[in-house]
A = this chain, B = another copy of it.
């Protein structure tokens, strides 16, 4: 992969991001975190991974998420759309998981506009089922990476509910970010609808439904042993800081250069 440098202008990530290929997961993770400890789980039986998973119908899951949004908003709606079905099909540990506590993911966490609750909820689902990377499997982490990129690059909402609560046509917008502030803001700007409008709420319910569809599709592939990582993006690896792919969208042409590790002189090999 080309090293574009953090200070260069016109950082174009798209052509790199959309390439489908195997992830050099170890390298990317090692660069960011610097180490991979072995798991020393402190919880009970729920910290044995993976959790038993049965494939779900993505469309049915999306429909549940759409309706759940009107009860528990984006993050908990995505979690419940998957876990309510697995409670029936599998039972524990899904029955013991308090999904409704995640209502606070609404509005990018209690309205602060950070990560949209829909990908945040999907990331929770994937990592609860597959487990954290420190437990030995990297697919939960990778599905979350794919979720962040898919959410950022897709014209949302994708999913149209069978029984929409709003008859108005809901337009689609691409957020180029997993942040609620940008996702909701760009949609409001394009549609002209206010935050408190029924149309904005229905748009977000459909985004939750779209995200639930997406994460279940990836989990089904994982269950079948055919999940392939789509994103090889690591902001830490490429730019030396956590973040997104589109530096210029916020920084303009003045993208700061992140501090680098001191270069350690190589020990000369014996001749």
Q: A128-B101, A194-B261, A260-B194 are in contact. Are A106 and B47 (CB under 8 A)?
A: no
Shortest distance between the CB of A149 and any CB in chain B (Å) = 9
Of the residues B115, B201, B240, contact of A114 by C-beta under 8 Å: B115
User: Judging by beta carbons under 8 Å apart, are B134 and A100 in contact?
Assistant: yes
> Is A113 an interface residue, CB under 8 A from the partner?
yes
Chain B residues with CB under 8 Å of A178's CB are 109, 112, 114
* Residue contacts A-B, CB under 8 angstroms, 26 given: A32-B107, A37-B70, A37-B71, A41-B100, A43-B87, A43-B97, A43-B99, A100-B134, A101-B127, A102-B124, A104-B127, A104-B132, A104-B140, A104-B141, A108-B243, A109-B178, A110-B148, A111-B234, A111-B235, A112-B235, A112-B242, A113-B242, A184-B242, A185-B258, A195-B236, A195-B259
Chain B residues with CB under 8 Å of A44's CB are 95-96
> Is A170 an interface residue, CB under 8 A from the partner?
no
Chain B residues with CB under 8 Å of A71's CB are 37, 40, 134
> Is A268 an interface residue, CB under 8 A from the partner?
no
Give the contact stretch, choosing among A72-80, A161-169, A206-214: A72-80
User: Judging by beta carbons under 8 Å apart, are A243 and B131 in contact?
Assistant: no
Task: List chain A positions with a Cβ less than 8 A from chain B.
Answer: 31-34, 37, 39-47, 49, 70-73, 76, 80, 83-84, 87, 93, 95-104, 106-115, 119-120, 123-124, 127-128, 131-135, 140-141, 144-145, 148, 178-181, 184-185, 188-189, 191-197, 201, 234-236, 240-244, 250, 256, 258-261
User: Judging by beta carbons under 8 Å apart, are A100 and B184 in contact?
Assistant: no
Q: A80-B42, A241-B181 are in contact. Are A107 and B236 (CB under 8 A)?
A: yes
Q: How far is the CA of A48 from the CA of B213 in the complex (A)?
A: 29
Chain B residues with CB under 8 Å of A234's CB are 111
Number of copies: 2
Of the residues B97, B114, B241, contact of A185 by C-beta under 8 Å: B241
* Chain B: CB-nearest residue to A34: B196
Q: A102-B132, A131-B101, A134-B103 are in contact. Are A181 and B242 (CB under 8 A)?
A: yes
Chain B residues with CB under 8 Å of A185's CB are 241, 243, 256, 258
User: Judging by beta carbons under 8 Å apart, are A144 and B261 in contact?
Assistant: no
Shortest distance between the CB of A85 and any CB in chain B (Å) = 11
Q: How far is the CA of A178 from the CA of B110 in the complex (A)?
A: 12
Chain B residues with CB under 8 Å of A110's CB are 123, 141, 144-145, 148
* Chain B: CB-nearest residue to A140: B104
